[in-house]
Amino acid sequence: MQNEQNQTESLTEDDFGTKTDALIKLGLITVGTQIATEVVHRVARYPLVVFGLGVAAGIYAHKERKKIIRTARQLQHQGKNLLPFQSGDK
């Protein structure tokens, strides 16, 4: 009887943990998206700020271009491994 109760408790604790983690992540993503949307709407009112953000993004992309290209190639290879029936570069 006690053994069955321990198994039931451990199963519900595991299930509860994974479901709770997923719900927390979903909630954080939702809140983050709402905050980001509000920030973008407010910033979009000021063209110089938008221009400055574009310049900053360009500088970052220029500095990190090798890393960005390396990551893109890794993702490309992972995609090819995921879908082996696609024709690749020969």
State the DSSP string of the chain.
Answer: -HHHHHHHHHHHHHHHHHHHHHHHHHHHHHHHHHHHHHHHHHHTT-HHHHHHHHHHHHHHHHHTHHHHHHHHHHHHHHHHHH-TTS----
Predicted confidence at residue 40, as pLDDT, reads 87
Contacts of 59 (CB under 8 A, 6+ apart): none
- Under a CB-based contact definition with an 8 Å cutoff, are residues 44 and 50 in contact? yes
Question: How far is Cα 47 from Cα 75, in angstroms, rounded to an integer?
Answer: 34
Q: How remote is the C-alpha of 73 from its chain's centroid?
A: 18
pLDDT digits (tens, 9 = 90+) for 61-86: 999 999 999 999 998 888 887 766 65
The whole-model pTM stands at: 0.47
pLDDT digits (tens, 9 = 90+) for 12-23: 555 556 778 888
